[in-house]
Amino acid sequence: MKLSRHSLAVAAALAGLVGGTAARAAQPVSIVDPTFSLGMEADEKAKKPVEKHACKGMNACKGHGGGSKNEWGKNECRGKGACATDGSKPKPK
Partner 1 sequence: MRLLELQRRMAAALLAPPGKRGRKEAVRLIKPNDRLSASERLAIYRRSYWARLLDSLAEDFPGVTAIAGRRRFRRLAVQYLRDCPSRSFTLRDLGAQLPDWLQRHPEILGAHQDLAVDMARLEWAHIVAFDGAQSPLLDPEHLLEPGPGMRIGLQPYLTLLELAYPVDEVRVALQSDAGQQPARRKAARLANPVFVAVHRSEGTVYYRRLEPEEFHLLQALRRGRAISSAVRFAFRHSRHAPADLPRLLETWFAAWARLGWLTVTSIDRHQV
The residue among 12 and 50 lying less far from partner 1, judged by its C-beta, is 12
- Does 50 engage in binding with partner 1 (CB under 8 A)? no
CB count in 10 Å sphere of residue 83 = 22
Among positions 1, 2, 34, 36, the unique one binding partner 1 when judged by CB under 8 A:
36
What Å distances lie between residue 44 and 47, 48, 69, CA to CA?
5, 7, 35
Among the residue ranges 42-50, 54-62, 66-74, 83-91, the one whose residues contact partner 1 (CB under 8 A): 42-50
What Å distances lie between residue 45 and 41, 48, 49, 56, 67, CA to CA?
10, 5, 9, 21, 28
The residue among 50 and 73 lying less far from partner 1, judged by its C-beta, is 50
Among positions 1, 2, 42, 49, the unique one binding partner 1 when judged by CB under 8 A:
42
CB count in 10 Å sphere of residue 56 = 16
Hey, which residues between 54 and 73 contact partner 1 (CB under 8 A)?
none
